[in-house]
Amino acid sequence: MTAEALRSLAPRVDFVVGGVQKGGTTSLDRLLRTHPAVAMARSKEPHWFDQDALFAAGDPDPAPYHGQWGDALAQRLCGDATPSYVWWPGAIERIHAYHPGMKWIVLLRDPVERAYSHWNMQRERGREPLAFDEALDAEPLRMASGDPTAQRRHSYASRGFYARQLAALGSRFPRDQVLVLLSEDLRGRASATAAAVTDFLGLDPLASVPEVSANEGDYATPMQASDRTRLVALYRADVTELERLLGRSLAHWLA
């Protein structure tokens, strides 16, 4: 048997919950942990494939990554819930090189609300001194800085171009390996959404599905109408393309 064939038989991570930050991935991770046939990573977000330094000299030894699952890697369906994988440059290619058969569950949230939620999180953590409109103004320079920490923390608007991200994902993974969900469905139709996930992964349905919270939180102040108008205009073309890709109206995102 060739080395390539042997590698294809080696235990690997089977699926990723790959999008988006502040979109309900924590809730889905918790839900999947209740399934007896699933093993999620010990750390909710392993951040293996979006660490450029790890891959600077080529594909790294995955042993430290696989340590997140231990013996379960060969015994159960193993998942990694790191939402930035669908957005971080290079992560999709690295995942394809690691496992072309990887399944993706992509959770999407209204990009305008997602951006404001992201900014609120950074404010609460003491990492964002700027008002929301100022942070949006500063984002292009922050993203161009080459500082990965700044890029992760301050990518409020940048992460919301979902059609663009799904196009990149579709260039490497076939459609039947990708399940796209809306975080609002996870909140409002938890049982049906959980059933879609288990069916996609080839698992028996969950015995029970608790009420799901998408971890949105309360904000000290609501978003300014001018900021919403600005972001709706920014995302309009991408949301229109996303509607075409999903065959579903997202007009409420642009209201």
Q: Cβ atoms within 10 A of the Cβ of 147, count?
A: 12
- H/E stretch holding 178: strand 178-182
The 10s digit of each residue's pLDDT in 110-124 is 999 999 999 999 999
Q: Would 2 be classed as within a structural domain? A: no
Whether the predicted model's global pTM rises above the 0.75 cut: yes
- H/E stretch holding 103: strand 103-108
Least confident window among 149-153, 191-195, 217-221: 217-221
State the residue for tokens 């979902």.
162
pLDDT at 28: 93
Question: Tokens for 241?
Answer: 């393309």
The 10s digit of each residue's pLDDT in 207-222 is 888 777 655 556 888 9
Q: Compute the distance between CA of residue 106 and CA of residue 81 in angstroms, rounded to an integer.
A: 10
Q: Would 233 be classed as within a structural domain? A: yes
Q: Is the pLDDT reported for residue 108 higher than 80? A: yes
Q: Would 196 be classed as within a structural domain? A: yes
Q: Would 29 be classed as within a structural domain? A: yes
The number of distinct structural domains making up the chain is 1
Q: Which residues have C-beta within 8 Å of that of residue 191, sequence separation ≥ 6?
A: 209
Contact 162, 111 (CB under 8 A): yes
Q: Which has the closest alpha carbon to 16: 75, 74, 94, 72?
A: 94
Q: Is the pLDDT reported for residue 242 higher than 50? A: yes
Q: Is the pLDDT reported for residue 150 higher than 60? A: yes
Least confident window among 2-6, 47-51, 166-170, 228-232: 2-6
Mean pLDDT, the chain, whole residue set? 92
The stretch 84-105 carries a mean pLDDT of 96
Contact 91, 85 (CB under 8 A): yes
Q: Would 123 be classed as within a structural domain? A: yes
Residue 81's CATH number: 3.40.50.300
Q: Would 6 be classed as within a structural domain? A: no
* DSSP structure string for 126-144: T---S-HHHHHHHHHHHHH
Q: Would 3 be classed as within a structural domain? A: no
Q: Is the pLDDT reported for residue 103 higher than 90? A: yes
The 10s digit of each residue's pLDDT in 16-56 is 998 887 778 999 999 999 999 999 999 989 999 999 999 99
Contact 181, 23 (CB under 8 A): no
Higher pLDDT, 202 or 146: 202
Q: Would 4 be classed as within a structural domain? A: no
- H/E stretch holding 108: strand 103-108
Domain span holding position 206? 11-254
Least confident window among 14-23, 98-107, 133-142, 166-175: 14-23
Higher pLDDT, 223 or 218: 223
